[in-house]
Amino acid sequence: MNAKLAKITWSIAASLIFAVCASADIGLKPPKHGGIYVVAHRGAHEGIPENTLAAYQKAIDLGCDFVEIDVRTTKDGKFVSVHNSTIDSYAPGKTGKVKDMTLDELRALDIGARVGDQYKGTKIPTFEEILDLCKGKIGIYLDLKDAPVPELVKIIKAKGMEKDVIWYVGGKNLTDLKSSCPECFEMPDPGPEKNLAKLLADHKPRIVASVREFISKTFVDACHASGAIVICDEDKPEDWKDMLAWGTDGIQTDHPADLIKYLQENPKK
């Protein structure tokens, strides 16, 4: 083995060892597939309505590590998973902002018919329904769109799921999370790499989120040196090779079945 190949092989092996040890150190369950956390973006939604119990169940069936959910607050103070601020693209012929509609109004919408006849009648899920479905089966990547952290923490604690949820939060929401649930897993996103050092120094996060545009080997190395793991959003499946070579610990993807297959066919040595 030449020196260059040996260096690459050692780098990959070291990243795998770090991923397993770091996840244990911070209290996360270890990843199921090749040392890499597989996060199903909006659930496993290829051919299935996104952000629905059906999409989350599919992710469970595939063996994903996390489902990503987008949490918003209804007009009457309930919590639902809807990515967009409006329901315009989910229920044909219907318009309105999630925050201006009651839970009953939102639950009356059919968000599945546009995907296929087999999903007619699919409803927007509540936060509690998602927790009940996922508990003991899969973790939750919580993208906080529009909801108060302390109220969500109360619900999560009542179900004993503090260690099952990773929180994509920043700013005041990050402060609120650390004060209301120190044991919860914060996952701030520094944006461009130039902001990373300050984020690591100020908050000492256990998990750092990023996107393909900003991640690099030096980004991942800095997080690992600080004791944090990195979960990154893909732009496209072609990104996986580089992201894994750089030591990324988890990938959020719209193609979870393909990613799991890729990890099985390209195991870390």
pLDDT in tens, 177-216: 999 999 999 999 999 999 999 999 999 999 999 999 999 9
Tell whether the model's pLDDT for residue 20 goes beyond 60: no
Range 225-242 average pLDDT: 96
pLDDT at 16 over 60: no
pLDDT at site 205: 96
Q: What per-residue confidence (pLDDT) applies to 13?
A: 47
What CATH code would you report for 3-265?
3.20.20.190
Long-range Cβ contacts of 87-95 (<8 Å, 24+ apart): 87/111, 87/124, 90/49, 90/114, 90/124
pLDDT band at 5 (very low <50, low <70, confident <90, very high): very low
Among 165, 143, 145, which residue's Cα sits nearest to residue 154?
A: 165
Q: What percentage of the chain has pLDDT greater than the value 90?
A: 87
Mean pLDDT value of segment 7-17: 46
pLDDT tens track for 132-169:
999 999 999 999 999 999 999 999 999 999 999 999 99
CA distance 81 to 72: 6
Q: What are the extents of the domains in the chain?
A: 3-265
Q: Quick one: average pLDDT of 3-30? A: 56
Percent pLDDT > 70 in the chain is 90
Decide: 125 and 43 in contact? Cβ < 8 Å. no
Q: Are 29 and 107 within 8 A, CB to CB?
A: no
